Amino acid sequence: MIEALRAKLLEVWRAQRSLLLVVACLGFALATGFECIEWRRAIMTNDVIEGLRAGRDIRVDPEARPEALLARIAFLTKRNELDQARGLLEALDHAGDAQTRAPGHYLLANALLLSALEHVEKLELDAASPFANLSKREYRRALQLNPEFWDAKFNIDVAARLLRDFPDYERKSGDELSADPNKLWTDIPGKPKGLP
């Protein structure tokens, strides 16, 4: 029985050998073509990232790779173009993994916190409050995506303390957290490791 099966397979191989080899070659050619396209897309993405890092204003499609979206968000937040950065962050949330999305939220939170600090320096506390609250929300989102993101833990503490330390600022609404003066890390989610 095994000999009969073996003979049948040899007969099929002899009859269809050319066709099977052509199909195998076409399959390898398609796989190679696909890999070349992916390689070219990776090179183009790297060129976009390097251009953005160099300070060139390169437009990035919301359907682009997550790495390019993150580089564009970094470019926009450096220039305080927060609305455009927020739009790309939504696209990044749909396309990227948690390790790419967390830095995007962190970058936007940093830009919002800087805006809040600018208002605080001018003693415009009412104008600083929304920026501080939005930055805390973005830091929390970054920490949800990456709980070990220590910089986000530190900065959310800064954002939480920013306005409440002013004695003349009376908070009537917003994101108020109760603070126990006996605890050092009152506002940081999770358990911090090490010293501040």
Judge contact between 92 and 70, C-beta under 8 A: yes
Question: pTM (2 decimals)?
Answer: 0.67
Q: Name the one residue in this structure whose structure tokens are 């682009």.
A: 64
- At 19 the three-state DSSP class reads helix
Asked if pLDDT for residue 23 goes beyond 70, the answer is: yes
Whether 25 maps to a domain, the answer reads no
pLDDT score recorded for residue 103: 92
The DSSP call for residue 175 is -
pLDDT average, residue stretch 158-177: 61
pLDDT average, residue stretch 19-41: 83
CA triple 47-72-104, angle to 5 deg: 125
Give the C-alpha distances (Å, rounded to integers) separating 22 from 8, 11, 16.
21, 18, 10
Whether 52 maps to a domain, the answer reads no
Q: What is the tally of structural domains in the chain?
A: 1
Whether 190 maps to a domain, the answer reads yes
Cα separation, 129 vs 105, in Å, equals 19
How confident is the model over 100-153, as pLDDT tens digits?
Answer: 899 999 999 999 999 999 988 888 888 888 898 899 999 999 999 999 999 999
Residue type, 175: D
Whether 47 maps to a domain, the answer reads no
Judge contact between 189 and 140, C-beta under 8 A: yes
Whether 169 maps to a domain, the answer reads yes
Residue-range definition of the domain harbouring residue 147: 97-196
Whether 49 maps to a domain, the answer reads no
Of residues 182 and 107, more confidence is placed in 107
